[in-house]
């Protein structure tokens, strides 16, 4: 049932009730062949965690495409309902869809609650009916479901489940989501979506019609400077998260943050004209960030950070 032919990601999907090896081979393929700014997991990440990252990514990617790449909103909602049914089957131990066969193993091994996976579906359903956000606060509410659950899933995979780290992760994930919105203004307009809140646009004298006409002027520049600055503040608020992680996972988290900040830098580099251009991270910038991260990883290997008491307790329970 869940094999929409129009989705590219469905083409290499193995048959239902396939083996765990086949399911994981598919999620690994999906995660390593569909990315833009950085891969889902770099070689800097401990090998025993990589497959779990691939499995979680496959779930998120499928849910996102069911919500974003199906042209009929009614059908999209039906598919998202079916996807949630499969999620519950996975948590009941009866998964048959390849993505959920893989995810079922990760959820059990990492003791991940169902809630963050279910929360993502709230956002993807919302995308089918909500095209505009009246206020900055309402957009933050959307990010609560569209972005923040991903960071929490990552923390669970890495054996972190305390509120302090989750809150720091929320700030970072919201910032990453916003950076993507500001990068994709032109692309989203083609889909009939505008994520810049109405109250922010009104502050600078802009209307939806101005954006649809790609009216680039000083009003748009000042508005983009404002929302890019707000997004940088969120990245700064979430920055302490990396210092609260052990060296084996810290660098990958820093890479994602660096990629988000680089997107904001790219927006500034094109003079904030995201109505006509889509800033991307250059290959040279990616190499620079990755190389810097690799050297940081080597330094941390020789200066390990002690595991905090909360994580010791979690690990002790996990391996008891």
Domain 20-129 matches domain 160-306+314-320 at the CATH topology level: yes
- Is 68 within 8 Å of 60 (Cβ atoms)? no
Rounded CA separation 183/177 (Å): 10
**How confident is residue 304, by pLDDT bands cut at 50, 70 and 90?**
very low
- Is 220 within 8 Å of 275 (Cβ atoms)? yes
**How confident is residue 44, by pLDDT bands cut at 50, 70 and 90?**
low
Collect all residues with Cβ–Cβ distance below 8 Å to 205 and sequence separation of at least 6. 219
Q: b/e string for 83-121 if b means 16 or more Cβ within 10 A? A: bbebbeebbeeebebbbbbbbbbbbeebebeeebbebbb
CATH of 20-129, one of 1.10.3720.10, 1.10.600.10, 3.40.50.450, 3.30.160.70: 1.10.600.10
User: Can you give the residue ranges of every domain in the chain?
Assistant: 20-129, 160-306+314-320
- The answer to whether residue 203 scores a pLDDT higher than 60 is yes
What is the mean pLDDT of the segment spanning 87-100? 97
**What letter does residue 305 receive in the DSSP assignment?**
P
| 42-56, 140-154, 233-247: least confident range | 42-56
Rounded CA separation 159/248 (Å): 12
Structure tokens at 221: 């520049």
Predicted confidence (pLDDT) per residue in 68-92, tens digit: 999 899 999 999 999 999 999 999 9
- Is 204 within 8 Å of 222 (Cβ atoms)? yes
pTM of this prediction?
Answer: 0.85
Collect all residues with Cβ–Cβ distance below 8 Å to 24 and sequence separation of at least 6. 51, 54, 55, 102, 105
Collect all residues with Cβ–Cβ distance below 8 Å to 68 and sequence separation of at least 6. 124, 127
**How confident is residue 261, by pLDDT bands cut at 50, 70 and 90?**
very high
Fold (CATH) for 160-306+314-320? Farnesyl Diphosphate Synthase (1.10.600)
| Position with higher pLDDT, 270 vs 308 | 270
């Amino acid at each position: 049932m869940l094999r929409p032919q129009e989705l590219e990601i469905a083409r290499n999907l193995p048959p239902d009730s396939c083996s765990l090896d086949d399911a994981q081979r598919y999620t690994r393929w999906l995660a390593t062949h569909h990315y833009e700014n950085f891969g889902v997991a770099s070689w800097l990440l401990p090998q025993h965690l990589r497959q779990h990252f691939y499995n979680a990514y496959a779930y998120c990617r499928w849910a996102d495409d069911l919500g974003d790449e199906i042209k009929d909103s009614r059908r999209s909602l039906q598919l998202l309902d079916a996807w949630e049914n499969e999620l519950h089957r996975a948590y009941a131990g009866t998964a048959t869809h390849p993505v959920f066969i893989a995810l079922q193993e990760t959820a059990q091994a990492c003791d991940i609650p169902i809630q963050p996976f279910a929360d993502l579906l709230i956002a993807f359903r919302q995308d089918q009916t909500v095209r505009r956000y009246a206020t900055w606060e309402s957009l933050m509410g959307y990010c609560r479901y569209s972005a923040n659950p991903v960071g929490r899933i990552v923390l669970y995979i890495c054996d972190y489940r305390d509120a302090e780290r989750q809150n720091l992760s929320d700030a970072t994930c919201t910032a990453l989501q916003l950076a993507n919105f500001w990068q994709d203004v032109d692309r989203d307009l083609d889909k009939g979506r505008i994520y810049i809140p109405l109250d922010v646009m009104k502050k600078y004298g802009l209307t939806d019609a101005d954006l649809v006409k790609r009216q680039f002027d000083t009003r748009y520049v000042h508005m983009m400077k404002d929302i890019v600055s707000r997004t940088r503040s969120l990245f700064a608020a979430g920055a302490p998260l990396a210092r609260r992680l052990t060296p084996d996972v810290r660098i990958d988290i820093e890479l994602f943050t660096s990629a988000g900040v680089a997107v904001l830098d790219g927006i500034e580099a094109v003079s904030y004209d995201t109505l006509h251009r889509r800033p991307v991270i250059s290959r040279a910038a990616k190499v620079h960030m990755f190389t810097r991260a690799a050297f940081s990883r080597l330094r941390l290997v020789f200066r390990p950070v002690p595991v905090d008491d909360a994580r010791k307790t979690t690990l002790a329970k996990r391996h008891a």
